[in-house]
Amino acid sequence: MSTDTAGAGAFRTALATAAPTPPADASVPDGVWPLLTALYEELPGSAADGWARAVHGALRAGPPAAGLWAVHAWQAGTVLPLLAAAWPDDGSGAVAALTSLHRAAIRAPVACDSWRAALPPVLLRVYGAAYDHRSAYAEAHANARSYALAHGHTPAEADAYGHRYAELSTDANAAAFAEAHARAVGDALARAYAGDRAGAYAATYPAAQVRAVVRALGRPAPPSVHAAGAAPHPALAPAYGLADVLRSGRRP
């Protein structure tokens, strides 16, 4: 077995086991390793292994520049454009505003107050879209319907009651879920970005943020967003977008 093949295998194993640090031969930019492990987990099996090989080759190209530049480049060049395409109704300009900050931060840190203003609207929408509305609605409907039946209502009445309850509770729970997660991560993320610190960024649980983005992108999109046929797996574009950033191996 060649050294390159062995190295790629070790790298893939580290991704698959979500190892706390990458193998020594992989020069991973600050803040990127938890993104890689989360994306590997989200990708379908065959795609995950091919992507891992491509990323490993890109990372062996040379030592990366310090700082969170790769995180910002990925957010500005891949994640936020994907969200903008999935949310054509974003009339507030929140995604565009956050994209501009990430672009600026690729080259120099951006003030914490700017991040504090720009992050919450996008985080709220990401986590709101990531909430599993379908399962929550189905569970709420079933429970409410059973309650109504147990209290003497006809099946038709119980079904209608179940739908009313499910609509109200699912919307409220989704809003609470989004608010809680945006509050939990927003200020810490703003401080990490402003300080350009990998340790502070790691403390914001970036892998969980990746999973939220993938789930948000997996929600049904308007017909105009995807061409006819099955939509691609929602983790593919974020994963290959990050691989493209890593091929540069340096702060632009």
> What's residue 192's pLDDT?
97
Residue 107 maps to a domain: yes
pLDDT at 213 over 80: yes
Contacts of 127 (CB under 8 A, 6+ apart): 177, 178, 181, 182, 212, 216
Question: Does any domain span residue 154?
Answer: no
Q: How confident is the model over 113-160, as pLDDT tens digits?
A: 999 999 999 999 999 988 878 888 888 889 989 988 898 899 898 889
Please give the Cα distance from 213 to 198 (Å, whole number): 20
Q: Please identify which residue in the block is written with the tokens 């009313």.
A: 164
Mean pLDDT across 175-199: 93
Q: Is residue 162 part of a domain?
A: no
Give the span between the Cα atoms of 111 and 19, in whole angstroms: 32
**Residues contacting 164, CB < 8 A, separation 6+:** 144
Planar angle of CA 26, 99, 65, nearest 5 degrees:
25
Amino acid in the structure at residue 39: L
pLDDT at 132: 79
Place of tokens 């409410």: 144
Plot region of 197 (φ>0 → left; ψ -120 to 50 → alpha; else → beta): beta
Q: Helix, strand or coil for residue 20? A: coil
Q: Which residues of 209-246 are buried (b: 16+ CB within 10 A; e: fewer)?
A: bbbbbbbbbbbeeeeeeeeeeeeeebbbbbbbbbbebb
- Distance, in Å, from the CA atom of 56 to the CA atom of 242, rounded to the nearest integer, reads 12
Domain that holds residue 77: 3-114+185-248
244 in any annotated domain: yes
* Residue 68 included in any domain: yes
Q: What pLDDT is attached to residue 221?
A: 47
User: Residue 108 pLDDT more than 70?
Assistant: yes
What is the average per-residue pLDDT within 6-35? 90
Domains held by the chain: number? 1
At 2, list the tokens.
């060649």
Rounded to whole angstroms, the Cα distance separating 85 from 88 reads 6
Sole residue written with tokens 């308007």: 222
164 in a structural domain: no
Q: Yes or no: say if 201 and 71 are a contact pair by the CB < 8 Å rule.
A: yes
Residue 142 in domain: no
- Residue 150 belongs to some domain of the structure: no
Question: pLDDT at position 209, please?
Answer: 95
